[in-house]
Amino acid sequence: MTFEPQLVPTLREGIDVIKMVLYRELKSLLFLKHRDPVYVDKLTGAVVNELFGIVSPGTSIELFSRTNQEAVEKTFQMISKKLDHLKIPLTDALRIQFLCDNHEGMDSTAVLKKAENRKLLIVERDVPLPGAFMNIARSFGRSYGILDPQPLTPPETTHKNPNGATDK
């Protein structure tokens, strides 16, 4: 698949929207169980980073993830069971990320395989076309208040008529 120059950054923005949706949903779910906001923030960040293959060496999230790997894995099981409604957007975001990474010369096959092993990837689902993925990302972004719910409209244009009055 060939991409227009601006397509990869746009698709990555859509992926980020899906990550934010997962973060919000997961954080709410974990807070019901743990009640410690610092722990919940770190666990949620560690899970989202690990799911999408984000490695941040030396950060507090990376250290937390290494020292709390059992909690991270249990959280993946929780996503599979309690956030089942996110499997389609997660599958699509992970696959689009794979295509973007591949286009940029990176191999993120291992990220897809881990998601499949954790039962978070719908294997039989077709890879979405970029436009279809962006529609899903926009829809989720609007419904979760991440994106502006109002479509962009051009500003009203004013014109001066010959006698100096302003017309719309």
Q: Is residue 57 part of a domain?
A: yes
Q: pLDDT (tens digit, 9 = 90+) per residue, 32-74?
A: 999 899 999 999 999 999 999 998 888 888 999 999 999 999 9
In this prediction the pTM is 0.84
Asked if the structure places residue 155 within a domain, the reply is no
Q: How far apart are CA 123 and CA 112, in angstroms?
A: 10
Please check whether residue 78 lies inside any domain of the structure.
Answer: yes
| Residue 91 belongs to a domain | yes
Number of domains present in the structure of the chain: 1
Q: Would you say residue 114 lies in a domain? A: yes
Q: What is the pLDDT of residues 75-92, one digit of tens each?
A: 999 999 999 999 999 999
Alpha helices in 56-121 (DSSP H): 60-67, 69-82, 87-103, 109-117
Which residue range forms the structural domain that includes residue 18?
7-147
Distances (CA, A) of 109 to 23, 81, 161: 23, 24, 62
- Contact of 89 with 140, CB cutoff 8 Å: yes
74 within domain boundaries: yes
pLDDT at 152: 47
